Structure 1
Amino acid sequence: MALESLDTSTALITSDIVLFGLLAATLGAIFWLASGPTPFWKKFFAWVPALLLCYFIPAFYNTVGLIDGENNSLYNPIASRILLPAALVLLTLSIDLKGILRLGPKLLFVFVAGTVGIVLGAIVSFQVMEWVHPPAVAGDTWKGMAALAGSWIGGGANMVAMREVYEVDATLFGQFAVVDVAMASALMATLLFLANRSAQIDARSGADTRAIDEMKARIAAYEAENARIPTLTDLMIIIAVAFGLVGLAHAISNPLAAWFARYEWSARFSLDSAFVWVVLTSTLAGLLLSFTRARRLESAGASKIGTVFLYFLIACIGMQMDFLKLADRPELLAIGVIWMSVHVLVIWGAARLVRAPMFYVGVGSMGNVGAAASAPVIAAAFHPSLAPVGVLLGTVGYATGTLIAYFVGQILRVMAGA
């Protein structure tokens, strides 16, 4: 797809190049202000995380018609197909796998609880709306909810897979896509806000944060011992490793997806999706490099460059959000609110049960709802060294999202009497 958009959008800005410049300038302005050039901005960003603005300012541009967040090529293919896998490579390249394993079974328990919360949330929200406002769940609404379950357990690829499996109407699918973005953005905004206050929350709840503190200290010590001012050679090697592996991932993803597509069972695990293979191979490549001398690139700023890519991805996700589209079927938003509330209650209860820290709640929740694109962002909001934990949990959903969402769809089909 050409970088210059050819659509007939009525937005003020229709050029992808101009849109790229606007997003880059917006991100730069946000982080410059977040650095605290004046006392006002120091106080402002003490309460409003910079990451939150990276979502909602592009969403505001889209809502008021300044840009067209959907009809452009910045998110797909540039951000999602190029920058996301590059970020995964650079964030996992410096991973301390042994340290992550030391975080223990509590993290996996909270993550699984988040998945259970999504399944229960679908059932509860459908039943509640059938009692309160039956038209909201009439007809094929259950099909759209099955597709949404695919997104909130796995990711976009799983959501599309559920659309194909249940033959979801394009309009209904689009409406649930708006609910998806709105609720996921609201959840991320809440988690980003809580991340800044995680220490106080953990202290009040009596959470055991020793494993996380040890990992942070170990990463900090490693960085202190190996940090250096990056040279031009360092930066070029980092870029070469990141985008070279992205190219390799794309080169082998289509053949792999085509090979697995010959087997009917592969669709249940999204193994027939080329994008899933891009994510999996990029993550695996980064993990393998973490056991080699390539890990030393972290001391030259590999993860920081990866984080830059992630922030641009965040802005591209945010620009697709249009608050006004929810007015078409506002009852679907009510379904999303009930659904997400159940998820939050279940994962919060599970965390309190095992005295898990707030970080486990954040990364476990977004590992389900946001998958590999958003989970590392939330993890990094708690501490940059924890981003790889989000990457790992986010990719788990891709393998299980389609199968579990299919199971959810079958339950909803019975409840709808279809």
Structure 2
Amino acid sequence: MITGAFGYASALLAIAGVLYYLEAFRKWRVFRYLPAIVLLYFVVMVCASAGLWEKTAAINDTYKMLRNNLLPAMIFLMLLEADLRQIKRLGWRMIFAFLLASFSIAAGFIVTFALFQHGLADNAWKTFAALCGSWMGGTGNLAAIQLALDVPDSAMGYTLLIDSIDYAIWVMALLALVPYAAHFNRWVKADSRALDDVSARLAESKADQTQVSGGNVLMLLALSCVVSSLSQWLAAMLPASAYFSTTAWTVALVTLAGIAGAVTPLRRLGGADVVATVLLNLIIALIASRASFSELLEAPVYILAGGCILLTHGVIMVIAAKLFRLDLFTCGLASLANIGGVASAPVLAASYSKALIPVGVLMAMLGYIVGTAGGLAVGKVLSVIAGA
């Protein structure tokens, strides 16, 4: 069993490296159906469940340190290849899909609570309202609703379990669907020409970049880490609240830095996507390392309720995709921008095209605007159902 920080990080990198080798050189058939990044999530989750590493203080600190520092660095590097002039061509459909995802999540909470309320704890409507705020926005929105409804920390345990387990399964499912985007788009008759055109234009712009070299990689890695550190330092000095947390400020600052860097000669420096891909794989492994199949047995009713919420949300999104001809990228990103926020939406966007990272970041930032109000509104409906 691994108990040290370096052994933990080494294990995650080793798993990612082996999967890359099997995909790139062995050409295993399974990779035709499941991307390596999905298998990485699953394999790391299996290892966590098997107890390959123990959640010691050192490992917990390492997880927080790597995730909190590498995620802003990855976003910055991926934004260096962003061209907002092209991305704005995606238009109103993204905002419409985001609001539709928020509505379907609210519907999922209301339907699920009505079905499961007798098997839940007293005043569960309050904790579900807080979770709804989190799944519409982020942890800051959850904290705001918890404060507004006066929910004690001791009452949040099972709700946070839903947030951990069901969220992890949902992320894995959305990543697994990426290879089938073309089939889905044909089925719903989605007009994905704007997305295809933007992706093609952004891909063509990579031709102007210099060749990848060790020096480029070193420079980009150093720059991304400095930007991440400075963004967090500045964010800590800005006014934060439960509504807009320090993490939200960090993401906002690093996003501005990446967009600014994209109009400088840094844009032509080859290797940003290489370093960002390494960081992306490590971040995915870090997230998966906190999940465990054994936790599914701790509170089956709550885990099932979380699955019901996501199922309702998914069904509504598929119906809407068919009615409004929304492509899978738009639907999936809108879903994860709500449920996963800034920590996950850029990861899903990168699995389609690394150049689309800004779309994921900007859409996830919308969640901070609607999360608190949406969660409180759903909480009001749940309180009526509970007769509170």
> What's the TM-score, normalizing by structure 1?
0.86
Counting aligned pairs with the same residue, the percent is 33
Structure 1: runs of 5 or more not aligned: 1-11, 262-266
Post-superposition Cα deviations, 1:343-377, rounded to whole Å, max 9, x if no partner, equal 11222222222212111111111111111111122
> Does residue 50 of structure 2 align to residue 78 of structure 1?
no
Distance 2:383 2:256 in 1: 37
Corresponding residue of 1:294? 266
Match of 1:397 among 362, 367, 373: 367
Corresponding residue of 2:103? 116
Q: Post-superposition shift, 1:147?
A: 2.5
Amino acid at match of 1:383: S
Match of 2:247 among 275, 284, 298: 275
For residues 323-362 of structure 1, what are the structure 2 equivalents within 5 Å? 323-362=293-332
Distance 2:113 2:221 in 1: 47
Corresponding residue of 1:48? 34
Query: C-alpha root-mean-square deviation of aligned residues, in Å?
Result: 2.0
Q: What secondary structure, in the 3-state scheme, does the structure 2 residue paired with 1:179 have?
A: helix
Match of 1:135 among 94, 119, 126: 119
Post-superposition Cα deviations, 1:260-307, rounded to whole Å, max 9, x if no partner, equal 55xxxxx4xx22x2222111111122122223333223xx12133123
For residues 57-72 of structure 1, what are the structure 2 equivalents within 5 Å? 57-69=43-55, 71=57, 72=60
Corresponding residue of 2:171? 188
Corresponding residue of 1:31? 20
Q: What secondary structure, in the 3-state scheme, does the structure 2 residue paired with 1:245 have?
A: helix
Distance 1:274 1:234 in 2: 31
> Does residue 91 of structure 2 align to residue 104 of structure 1?
yes
Structure 2: runs of 5 or more not aligned: none
Distance 1:73 1:411 in 2: 39
Q: 1:179 to 1:95 in 2, by over 3 A?
A: same
Contact 1:149 1:405 (8 Å CA) reproduced: yes
Distance 2:154 2:37 in 1: 31
Q: Post-superposition shift, 1:172?
A: 4.1
Amino acid at match of 1:140: N
- Once structures 1 and 2 are overlaid, which stretch shifts more, 246-255 or 155-164? 155-164
Corresponding residue of 1:306? 276
Corresponding residue of 1:93? 80
Q: What secondary structure, in the 3-state scheme, does the structure 2 residue paired with 1:284 have?
A: helix
> Does residue 353 of structure 2 align to residue 383 of structure 1?
yes
Contact 2:209 2:268 (8 Å CA) reproduced: no
Corresponding residue of 2:383? 413
Contact 1:175 1:326 (8 Å CA) reproduced: no
Corresponding residue of 2:199? 216
Post-superposition Cα deviations, 1:366-394, rounded to whole Å, max 9, x if no partner, equal 11111111112222222333233212212
Match of 2:209 among 224, 227, 230: 227
Corresponding residue of 1:177? 160
Number of aligned pairs?
A: 386
- Once structures 1 and 2 are overlaid, which stretch shifts more, 382-391 or 195-204? 382-391
Distance 1:240 1:85 in 2: 13
Contact 1:92 1:391 (8 Å CA) reproduced: no
Q: 1:174 to 1:301 in 2, by over 3 A?
A: farther
Q: Post-superposition shift, 1:171?
A: 4.8
Q: 1:284 to 1:399 in 2, by over 3 A?
A: farther
> What's the TM-score, normalizing by structure 2?
0.93
Contact 1:70 1:320 (8 Å CA) reproduced: no
Corresponding residue of 1:5? none
